Amino acid sequence: MVQQHQDPTFTLGRRPVGLTFANKEKSFGGYTLFAPQTSEGLVYLIDEQGEVVHQWQLPVRAGRDAVLLPNGNLGYNGSHRTSANLYPAWDLWHGGDFYEVTPDNKVVWHYEDIFHHHDAQWLPNGNLLYTAAAPLPADIAKRVIGGDPRCDAPDGIIQSDVVKEVNRHGDVVWEWRAWEHLEPENFPVHDIFDRRHWPMINGLSVTREGLVLMSLRTTSGVIAVRKESGKVVWHAGPDVVAQQHTPVELENGTILVFDNGNLRPGVTSPHSTVLEFDPHTQAIHWQYRDIFPPAFFSPYMGSAQRLANGNTFICESAFGRLFEVTPQGETVWEYIIPYFNEYPAHLSQGIIPGKQNSAFRAHRYSANDISWLK
């Protein structure tokens, strides 16, 4: 176990960090990959004992996360140094500087889009699927409802979302514009949000059928889009999810999502849950919440991954807590990211002050997934 320096003004830094608990009999084991948001481009791979077994150094800090690709390389979503300047919080969640690197840190592919934000998926065919911002046409922007009009941009521009798929040459091979398929009146912005970004797609994945799952942050919802037509085939709204992230289809066809829990209707004490729901009936098949619900809460970011042994691996992003639970909700492994640092000055001096150990997502892999690791 690692212990941070005892700083009386730094609450997170006074808590135990590193591996805090492990039940090897019930845990999936394997290796965990994470890219701290403020670790200046360092990506860590740790074993089940919480020891670093490999690390990478990328040229820019993490915009979002890093993943291990089937060929053994690392796919990295970096924060572009000269990204677009769209609104004050933009630099907090944009990425736009993508790298594929070998285990020995050799760059084999690089792609940039200064309008990229939040999630990106490295597809099996080698393409990259990601979300970019684009201004809403003025006539559609007038139809966006909800939100706090006092916080509107001075120029009245509302950013929206374009989901793009690019090939290895950087050519756009598929594109979906939110405003061409979503009616603003059916996707109102939460009252406390500004209306600078609608509906803010913060999570993407692709189902076995080829549907693209999209998580809508400022309206609370998950939609499934058919690529051929662009049509939304189902929508789970704020009666199911609240400020959610990272929807993914499981083998049985249900959807697993990290449900942050901000602005959940009728709930006065915010807390996060991990939900597994039927996309057609929207019935909840399984959920995890802490026995004392407020003890598990990430107001932003977050991920959940179903493991081969039936357990679920969870990233409680805001507090750098990575843990694994059984289907019965028993925690069998827990690790607190021990790497604290501040965001760049223009972010840490107002939008998100103080030292952070957060990670957008974390990923668990078996030993068979990492054949190159000696």
* 371 CB burial (10 A radius; 0-12, 13-18, 19+): exposed
HSE toward the beta carbon, residue 264, CA cutoff 13 A:
17
pTM of the entire predicted model: 0.96
Q: Supply the DSSP symbol for 291.
A: S
d(CA 141, CA 157): 8
Residue 101's DSSP bridge partners are 74, 107
> Is residue 162 within 8 Å of residue 172, measured between CB atoms?
no
Range of lowest pLDDT (2-11, 267-276, 292-301): 2-11
The DSSP secondary-structure symbol of 146 reads B
Of 25-34, 97-106, 351-360, the poorest mean pLDDT is in 351-360
Tens of pLDDT, residues 31-85: 999 999 999 999 999 999 999 999 999 999 999 999 999 999 999 999 999 999 9
Position 3 scores a pLDDT of: 54
Are 42 and 57 spatial neighbours (Cβ–Cβ below 8 Å)?
yes
| SS3 letters across 90-138 | HHHHECEEEEEECCCCCEEEEEECCCEEEEEEECCCCCEEEEEEEECCH
Which token pair is 333? 């492994």
- pLDDT per residue over 193-249, tens digit each? 889 999 999 999 999 999 999 999 999 999 999 999 999 999 999 999 999 999 999
Q: For the chain, list the domains and their CATH numbers.
A: 2-369 (2.130.10.10)
Give whole-number Cα distances, 177 to 70, 162, 164, 203, in Å.
Answer: 29, 5, 9, 15
Give pLDDT tens digits for 276-333: 999 999 999 999 999 999 999 999 999 999 999 999 999 999 999 999 999 999 999 9
Please give the Cα distance from 17 to 334 (Å, whole number).
10
**Mean pLDDT, the chain, integer:** 95
* Six-digit token string for 170: 């950087």
